[in-house]
Amino acid sequence: MKIVAGNSNRALAEQISKYLDVPLAKCQVRRFADQEIYVEIQENVRGEDVFVIQPTSYPANDHLMELLIIIDALRRSSARRITAVVPYFGYARQDRKSAPRTPISAKLVSNLITNAGADRVLTLDLHAAQIQGFFDIPTDNLYGAPVMTRDIKEHYDTTNVMVVSPDVGGVVRARALAKRIEAPLSIVDKRRDKPGESEVMNIIGDVSGYDCILVDDIVDSGGTLCNAADALLAAGAKSVTAYITHGVLSGGAVARVSASKLKELVITDSIEPTAAVQAAPNIRTISIAPLMGEAINRTSQERSVSSLFD
């Protein structure tokens, strides 16, 4: 097995490498003067099972191109099998035609990864489950719920926890977590007038006296979470914490969350936390390295990964 890391989340790649006790392969990823990407695999990978760890987070286009070029370099170096490990799959929010004459970018990106030469894809908490079917190669979509469940049980009395979906679209994800910790479920009904803005309308379910846990796959601007926290507290919730897989946290999101009524925002390290995220008083990061590392190990050994969903 060989593990190759791009520049997107070097810290996560190093943690996965440590978990597997496999050193990162020597690989140079740098820029020409005009910012074109240059990749050189600096050790023999002929006949090897290679895993490329590269979330396509900000700047998404740069990191996506890095991934594609690394895959191409490995294919031309005669790697036996190439698995694209993409903990955060960018462009996943464009998974259907939401209006006339708009792209389905998630399908385009999946085609690019396949055509670059990837044999498999390993990802985490896709924004829309159907994206798994956009790939014409084997694709494993892991879930962050087991990692979150362990953390919730360590920090909360689950007999007084209410799992809350921040919108109707996230009910399936929230219900799955609620089932794991045997907690009731509530839903925030919101109406979004334009991208990046949301207005909370009402709460479906009685949250009075509960420690509410908001669950979602992506936090970007943070507006939805902060509005939901306000609405839940106004409805009598004891406290509001958010567990989100991918902490995109663009623009002024970190400042917005820090100033909000959220007790805590817990994110995974699928996207490398910025200095602002690390300094925020109410944002905490939990690691998915053991989960991803075990999935890589089982994939390499041709063993089942489905037990990791439990």
Query: Residues annotated as binding site for D-ribose 5-phosphate?
Result: 192, 216, 220-224
**Selected catalytic residue, list 97, 153, 190, 238:** 190
Q: H or E stretch including 254?
A: helix 253-258
Q: Binding site for ATP: which residues?
A: 34-36, 93-94
Give the whole-angstrom CA distance, residue 183 versus residue 174. Answer: 10
Q: What are the C-alpha distances in Å from 180 to residues 30, 49, 244, 310? A: 44, 34, 16, 9
- Which residues are paired to 188 by β-bridges? 203
Q: Is 97 a catalytic residue?
A: no
Closest C-alpha among 281, 151, 154, 172 to residue 216: 172
Binding residues: 34-36, 93-94, 127, 167, 192, 216, 220-224
Helix axes 10-20, 289-300, angle to 10 degrees: 60
Distance CA 288, CA 305 (A): 15
Q: Which amino acid is at 121?
A: V
Residues with active-site annotation: 190
